[in-house]
Amino acid sequence: MAQLQEMAVASADQPLVPTLDYTSPAYKDAYSRINAIVIEGELEANRNYLTLAELLPDDAAELKKLAKMEFRHMKGFEACGKNLDVTPDKEFAVKFFEKLRVNFETAAEAKDVVTCLVIQALLIECFAIAAYNIYIPVADDFARKITEGVVKDEYLHRNYGEVWLKARFDDPQVKADMERANAANLPIVWEMFGQVNQDADTLAMEPDAIVEDFMIAYGEALGEIGFSSREVMKLAAQGLRAAA
């Protein structure tokens, strides 16, 4: 692991980027959970887009393409773990995603495409966008290259959801369903942030910056779909209120 020198970009007294030892037990321990979450998140995204392909037969070809991208992302992140000689803690990751997974599955069974898209294309994609953007500057060389490629795709995935929801935003039912899906699932995302705070910090991913990036990415998407700034704030506040 010869990537370390490069992390020490800094003046002696006040490092801009903390020096990271990717081989230290503390780094590897935190990485075993973060890496597992990322792998599991990509796998679930893969499954979710395949489910959406069934729910939206007209878009099946495109959605299957997105599913394939997610599977490729998963393989890339598995390689990142192996590169650092870390065994991902799958059990932790499966549990981490449980609530969102159950809510997605319940919505899919009810053919509630709006909720499925809010969970996968908006919340999960924005979570990924935020986490990957914050990770890139502090990642090891190998993982950085992979993550840079991945994050570009996640913007495309978010865009799929934006376009679909925007095209139907005139329908008051769609707007109401989005609000309901937000109220039910944003607090879960908040909880998830709380669970990885400490591990993210160990990897030099500033927890507050992840949340900020997430809110920017999610707010942008809601605005693009058609919510006013005030409505975006209201939706964001629902997450905070329930998490408090």
**Where does this chain bind Fe ion (CB under 5 A)?**
42, 45, 70, 73, 154, 157
Query: What is the smallest separation between the CB atom of 158 and Fe ion, expressed in angstroms?
Result: 8
Burial label for 127, CB within 10 Å (0-12, 13-18, 19+), is buried
Query: What is the smallest separation between the CB atom of 113 and Fe ion, expressed in angstroms?
Result: 17
Determine the Cα–Cα distance for residues 227 and 220; give it in Å rounded to an integer. Answer: 10
| DSSP conformational letter for 123 | I
Query: What is the smallest separation between the CB atom of 157 and Fe ion, expressed in angstroms?
Result: 4
User: Residue 20 or 162: which CB sits closer to Fe ion?
Assistant: 162
Contact 117, 111 (CB under 8 A): no
User: Residue 61 or 244: which CB sits closer to Fe ion?
Assistant: 61
User: Residue 20 or 126: which CB sits closer to Fe ion?
Assistant: 126
User: Residue 7 or 38: which CB sits closer to Fe ion?
Assistant: 38
User: Residue 140 or 154: which CB sits closer to Fe ion?
Assistant: 154
Cα 128 from chain centroid (whole Å): 2
Q: How many angstroms separate the Cα of 27 from the Cα of each of 15, 79, 102, 118? A: 18, 17, 31, 33
Query: What is the smallest separation between the CB atom of 220 and Fe ion, expressed in angstroms?
Result: 16
**Total residue count of the chain as it appears in this document:** 244
> Which candidate, 113, 29, 39, places its Cα nearest to that of 72?
39
Query: What is the smallest separation between the CB atom of 112 and Fe ion, expressed in angstroms?
Result: 20
Determine the Cα–Cα distance for residues 62 and 74; give it in Å rounded to an integer. Answer: 19
